[in-house]
């Protein structure tokens, strides 16, 4: 799908001004970054540009307006300045201060600009041509020679900082983006052998698309469902999951996917595996019941022991395993078991393993499975959409960039 994208190998960066878009959006608690995984991953691209003598300014975002983690990039800057010798953080996006700092960059220096989502038009999803006419792009583009997009985790969005610069500057993808495409397109191009998908978490809309594509692929053996995704499919299969679990799905607006889930189950020839038992949250205690004994007055918070054993068996015999989203509410004590045991099995399995999404990455680190995973994707939603065969706006924008290096 994206075999011909221009990469950093296609450009010379010595003494050139480079605008680099990264995704260092992180979990922030009490002003501190909980996990700096994304920041450290992008250091690969940043250091290569520095070594080649580029003058680098970085655009990034953090959170969304109205959310607790919508804040400045100062916490990110503190981590980056420990890793980079010639680094400066500027609390400005495209105002006079930012422009002055950009113009004064020397080769090998790095500048981190302020949270680009402080700029309201950044939060609009429009086509590249529309964004190219906005203030952000018109003000910054003349200051640079090359645009490098390394923000895979945001590649499914069509915001100004992701697509607009491709209409004003020669553009390519960075090393993080390049590696993500290389690994994930293996599945999209049907080159996976005996594949197993493990889909949990709460991104029901994206999960539906991936399941639909998996049913069309001969080399996908099984799709193992858990989390809110598994609960929705259980409900769609005719299981009364109980009022508390139904309420959670209704409050999130996921009932609109019930008909699609039913259609997929009708089309299924045995690939989709649903939980056979679940763990209920009975006043903070784990209570396991077979699905035949549902409904219950307690919410479903994890898959049960029989399901865990079944899923582990399927994972062990897979040639490739791709996982997104936890199997339950792993953050709560007693309900981490399904997520942890599935991840530990993925890490020790012989098949090539890929996980993606902030929650499952955090869980993999917490249970010690992280180092055993072959590829950890920086994106959750972007990964699911690429696996579903969808095109990603940020990649399309680079692919159709009218300028050469």
Domain boundaries, the chain: 8-177, 190-387
- Residues 148, 161: contact at Cβ < 8 Å? no
Q: Which two tokens stand for residue 366?
A: 């917490």
Q: What is the tens place of the pLDDT at every residue in 242-258?
A: 999 999 999 999 999 99
Of 3.40.50.1260, 3.20.20.70, 3.30.1600.10, 3.10.580.10, the CATH number of 8-177 is: 3.40.50.1260
Q: Which two tokens stand for residue 45?
A: 């691209």
Q: Which two tokens stand for residue 33?
A: 């970054």
Q: What is the tens place of the pLDDT at every residue in 257-311?
A: 999 999 999 999 999 999 999 999 999 999 999 999 999 999 999 999 999 999 9
Q: Which two tokens stand for residue 128?
A: 């590249």
Q: What is the tens place of the pLDDT at every residue in 7-41?
A: 999 999 999 999 999 999 998 888 899 889 999 99
211: CB partners within 8 A, 6+ apart? 197, 199, 223, 225, 264, 272
> How far are the Cα atoms of 224, 242, 298, 388 from residue 245, in angstroms, in the given order?
19, 6, 8, 27
How would residue 192 be classed by pLDDT, with cut points 50, 70 and 90?
A: low
Q: Nearest Cα to 112, choosing from 101, 100, 96, 123?
A: 101
Of 3.40.50.1260, 3.40.50.720, 3.40.630.10, 3.40.50.800, the CATH number of 190-387 is: 3.40.50.1260
Instruction: Report the chain's mean pLDDT, rounded to a whole number.
Output: 94
Residue 316 CA to residue 383 CA, distance in Å, equals 23
What does the pLDDT read at residue 67? 87
First to last CA, the chain: 22
Average pLDDT (120-128) is: 93
Phi-psi bin for 219: left (phi > 0), alpha (psi -120 to 50), beta? alpha
What does the pLDDT read at residue 1? 81
Q: How many helices (H) and strands (E) does the chain have?
A: 16, 17
What percentage of the chain's residues is helix, strand, coil (to nearest 5)?
45, 15, 40
Q: Nearest Cα to 341, choosing from 357, 324, 327?
A: 327
Q: Is the pTM of this model over 0.85?
A: yes
Q: Is 103 exposed, middle or buried (0-12, 13-18, 19+ CB in 10 A)?
A: exposed
Buried b (16+ CB within 10 A) or exposed e, 244-276: bbbebbeeeebeebeebbeebeeebeebbbbbb
Q: What is the tens place of the pLDDT at every residue in 207-255?
A: 999 999 889 888 889 999 999 999 999 999 999 999 999 999 999 999 9
pLDDT over threshold 60, residue 396: yes
Q: Which two tokens stand for residue 46?
A: 């940043």
- Residues 341, 308: contact at Cβ < 8 Å? yes
């Amino acid at each position: 799908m994206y075999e011909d994208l221009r990469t950093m190998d296609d450009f010379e960066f010595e003494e050139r001004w480079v605008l680099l878009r990264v995704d260092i959006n992180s979990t922030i608690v009490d002003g501190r970054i909980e996990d700096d995984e994304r920041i450290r991953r992008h250091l690969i691209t940043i250091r290569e540009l520095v070594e080649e003598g580029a003058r680098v300014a970085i655009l990034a975002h953090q959170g969304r307006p109205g959310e607790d983690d919508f804040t400045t990039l100062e916490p990110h800057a503190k981590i980056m300045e420990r890793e980079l010798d010639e680094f400066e953080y500027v609390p400005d996006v495209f105002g006079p201060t930012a422009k002055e700092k950009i113009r004064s960059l020397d080769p090998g220096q790095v500048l981190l600009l302020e949270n680009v989502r402080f700029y309201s038009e950044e939060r609009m999803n429009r086509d590249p041509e529309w964004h190219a006419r906005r203030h952000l792009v018109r003000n910054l583009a003349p200051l640079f020679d090359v645009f490098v997009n390394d923000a895979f985790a945001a590649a499914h969005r069509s915001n100004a900082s992701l697509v607009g610069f491709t209409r004003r500057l020669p553009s390519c993808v960075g090393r993080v983006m390049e590696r993500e495409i290389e690994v994930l397109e293996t599945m999209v191009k049907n080159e996976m052998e005996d594949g197993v998908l493990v889909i949990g978490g709460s991104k029901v809309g994206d999960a539906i698309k991936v399941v639909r594509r998996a049913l069309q692929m001969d080399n996908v053996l099984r799709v193992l469902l858990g989390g809110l995704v598994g609960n929705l499919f259980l409900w769609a299969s005719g299981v009364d999951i109980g009022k508390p679990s139904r309420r959670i799905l209704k409050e999130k607006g996921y009932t609109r996917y019930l008909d699609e889930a039913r259609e997929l189950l009708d089309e299924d020839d045995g690939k989709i595996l649903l939980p056979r038992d679940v763990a209920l949250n009975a006043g903070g205690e784990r209570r396991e019941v077979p699905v035949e004994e549902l409904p219950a007055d307690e919410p479903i918070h994890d898959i049960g022991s029989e399901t865990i054993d079944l899923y582990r068996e399927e994972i062990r015999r897979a040639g490739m395993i791709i996982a997104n989203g936890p199997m339950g509410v792993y953050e709560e004590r007693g309900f981490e078991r399904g997520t942890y045991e599935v991840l530990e099995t993925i890490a020790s399995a012989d098949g090539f393993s890929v996980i993606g999404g902030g929650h499952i990455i955090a869980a993999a680190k917490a249970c010690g499975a992280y180092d055993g995973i072959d590829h950890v994707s920086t994106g959750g939603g972007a990964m699911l959409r690429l696996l579903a065969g969808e095109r990603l706006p940020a990649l399309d924008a680079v692919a159709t960039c009218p300028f050469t290096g």
